[in-house]
């Protein structure tokens, strides 16, 4: 009975919940401001809003009732925070919260700036860490709507259109057209809800710069301490290091080249402090000593004679994003992947005969012609289905073997090397493969490939034979794939005939398979080449 009376007595306090929620709303809004007003502590908050002290609250509230009240306050905080930050249609956290979205709503401490949205550089591919602004399709002051293209972003692999996610007005373009090496998440533009607020952001600085100030202010006290310690010690070090000599009884360690250079210039090694491994004196130490002591005059005439050579005429070409990613990925491949290479010659007489027949059918039906490269892609896909070990990639914990056969085709453009992908090439016909390869190659040359056009490949084909006449070459494995096929040019050769004095002519096309030895053993690579050669020399089997 006493328990029931306590519940009834406390139910009267629940009538004040609406007042409590309104006060919590005001407190939440104050927490978003940058004023110096100190927040209320927990005891003051509950004593002010519930009308009694914490001890009275504990004595008068049952466990279930307190849980209900705290649940209501928690729900309010979640609702109030969402309403506060979702004025443009979706929750966007403010400065006090961490968020993975590329756009964030800003609340400036300045009274003349209304709420705004900061649009950051998006991550448009799995490997993208920075991007360039290729072109702005909207100007400052333009109205934007969801789905409209704001700008074109040059990623590490292609140029991609960046669409607007919310309705508003483009108040300020932070990163102008042509800006390069913009980090993912860095603010590139600002939008507002009302058109009359556009002029207020003419000289606005994005919030990340303001957020960077406290982060820089934190380590600032530490460097002065380090500088104070280094300043008294640093001046005597260079003065004492050059004249200082090690004890005469100790052995002086120096490289043979340094010893010879010291003997030629009559420099005692005991006067030089070595900077090599374990204090060893190297050639650079001798050169520095000679330069500081003025004994390097004998070497200057040789430099003067070299200065008579006329300067080279050159042009510095800045790196494009695709050039940077190609350089880093291929350098990573050669440094970390144990390559080995297998080469085989394939007779392509029957392949060319079949191609001629198929092209006659294509021309009669108004279709596009089929190329040798289309047949190579189809044969490689079927060989991967027969030898799936080559359709794999290496990880530290396992070898991932793919069930999809997606063939990347290397395409050279003015901007760099692209490798668009033909997905499920083993299930597609030659006409479909040819159409997709031509479309992807055209998009690569126009620099309009989308991420889905080049991601997800499991094997790569690089053909330098047909377009350039290269006889044979070894390609670099495209990570994380385990193999790449290099196709050379076909040439006629004299081959023995049936009789002792008979001979024939045949066309042979050399192909080289580059393999990752961690994934594909030599015998497996040879088995794949045997299967590929069978499809090339008997192309009718690809139609089965």
Active-site position among 142, 194, 424, 521: 521
For residues 488 and 466, give the distance between their C-alpha atoms in angstroms, rounded to a whole number.
Answer: 7
Phi, psi of 479 (to 5 degrees): -65, 150
Q: Name residue 516's beta-bridge partners.
A: 339
Beta-strand relationship, 130-136 and 149-154: antiparallel
Put the strands of the sheet holding 143-144 in their side by side order.
103-106, 116-120, 187-192, 168-173, 143-144
For residues 358 and 431, give the distance between their C-alpha atoms in angstroms, rounded to a whole number.
Answer: 9
CB 473 within 8 A of CB 512: yes
Q: Would residue 521 show up in a list of annotated catalytic residues for this protein?
A: yes
Residue 266 backbone zone (phi > 0: left; psi -120 to 50: alpha; other: beta): left
Q: Name residue 493's beta-bridge partners.
A: 506
Of 136, 133, 138, nearest to 181 (Cα)? 133
Question: How many CB atoms are located within 10 Å of the residue 482 CB?
Answer: 29
Give Cβ neighbours of residue 61 (< 8 Å, ≥ 6 apart): 10, 13, 69
Q: Would residue 396 show up in a list of annotated catalytic residues for this protein?
A: no
For residues 531 and 520, give the distance between their C-alpha atoms in angstroms, rounded to a whole number.
Answer: 15
**The tokens of 534 are what?**
């069978």
Of 321, 363, 44, nearest to 184 (Cα)? 321
**The tokens of 135 are what?**
């072109």
DSSP 228: H
DSSP 479-507: TTBSEEEEE---EEEEEE-SSTT-EEEEE
For residues 119 and 201, give the distance between their C-alpha atoms in angstroms, rounded to a whole number.
Answer: 14
Residue where the block lists tokens 């303001």: 210
For residues 434 and 382, give the distance between their C-alpha atoms in angstroms, rounded to a whole number.
Answer: 16
Encode burial over 339-349: b for 16+ CB neighbours within 10 A, e otherwise: eeebebbbbbe
Q: Name residue 170's beta-bridge partners.
A: 191
**The tokens of 21 are what?**
């929620």
CB 216 within 8 A of CB 153: no
Of 182, 187, 242, nearest to 210 (Cα)? 187
Give Cβ neighbours of residue 291 (< 8 Å, ≥ 6 apart): none
> 176: cis peptide before it, omega within 30°?
no
Supply the residues annotated as catalytic.
517, 521
């Amino acid at each position: 009975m006493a328990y029931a009376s306590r519940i009834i007595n406390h139910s009267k306090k629940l009538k004040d919940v609406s007042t409590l929620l309104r006060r919590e709303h005001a407190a939440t809004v104050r927490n978003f401001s940058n004023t110096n007003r100190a927040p209320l502590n927990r005891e003051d908050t509950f004593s002010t809003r519930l009308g009694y002290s914490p001890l009275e609250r504990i004595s008068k509230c049952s466990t279930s009732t307190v849980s209900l009240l705290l649940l209501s306050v928690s729900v309010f905080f979640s609702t109030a925070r969402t309403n506060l930050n979702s004025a443009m249609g979706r929750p966007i956290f403010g400065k006090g919260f961490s968020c993975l979205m590329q756009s964030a709503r800003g609340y400036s401490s300045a009274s003349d700036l209304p709420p705004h949205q900061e649009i950051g550089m998006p991550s448009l591919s799995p490997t993208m860490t920075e991007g360039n602004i290729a072109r702005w399709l909207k100007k400052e002051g333009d109205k934007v709507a969801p789905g409209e293209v704001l700008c074109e972003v040059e990623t590490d692999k292609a140029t991609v259109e960046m669409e607007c996610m919310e309705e508003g007005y483009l108040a300020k373009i932070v990163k102008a057209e042509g800006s390069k090496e913009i980090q993912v998440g860095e603010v590139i533009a600002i939008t507002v809800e009302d058109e009359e607020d556009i002029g207020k952001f003419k000289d606005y600085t994005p919030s990340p710069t303001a957020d960077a100030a406290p982060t820089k202010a934190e380590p600032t006290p530490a460097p002065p301490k380090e500088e104070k310690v280094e300043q008294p010690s640093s001046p005597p070090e260079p003065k004492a290091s050059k004249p200082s000599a090690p004890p005469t009884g100790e052995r002086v360690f120096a490289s043979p080249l340094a010893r010879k250079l010291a003997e030629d210039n009559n420099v005692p090694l005991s006067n030089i402090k070595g900077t090599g491994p374990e204090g060893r004196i190297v050639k650079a130490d001798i050169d520095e000593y000679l330069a500081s002591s003025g004994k390097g005059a004998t070497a200057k005439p040789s430099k003067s004679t070299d200065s008579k050579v006329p300067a080279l005429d050159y042009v510095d070409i800045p790196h494009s994003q695709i050039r940077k990613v190609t350089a880093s990925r291929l350098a990573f491949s050669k440094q970390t992947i144990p390559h080995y290479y297998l080469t085989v010659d394939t007779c392509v007489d029957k392949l060319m005969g079949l191609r001629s027949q198929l092209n006659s059918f294509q021309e009669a039906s108004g279709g596009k012609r089929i190329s040798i490269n289309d047949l190579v892609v189809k044969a490689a896909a079927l060989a991967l289905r027969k030898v799936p070990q080559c359709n794999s990639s290496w990880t530290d914990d396992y070898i991932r073997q793919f069930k999809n056969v997606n063939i990347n085709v290397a395409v050279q453009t003015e901007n760099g090397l692209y490798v668009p992908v033909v997905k499920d090439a083993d299930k597609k016909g030659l006409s479909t493969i040819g159409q997709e390869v031509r479309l992807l190659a055209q998009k690569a040359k126009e620099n309009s490939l989308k991420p889905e056009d080049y991601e997800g490949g499991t094997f790569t084909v690089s053909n330098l034979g047909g377009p350039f006449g290269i006889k044979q070459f070894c390609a670099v494995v495209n990570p994380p794939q385990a193999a790449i096929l290099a196709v050379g040019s076909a040439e006629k050769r004299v081959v023995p005939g049936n009789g002792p004095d008979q001979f024939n002519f045949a066309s042979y096309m050399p192909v080289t398979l580059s393999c990752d030895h961690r994934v594909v053993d030599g015998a497996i690579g040879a088995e794949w080449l045997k299967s590929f050669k069978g499809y090339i020399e008997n192309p009718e089997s690809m139609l089965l």
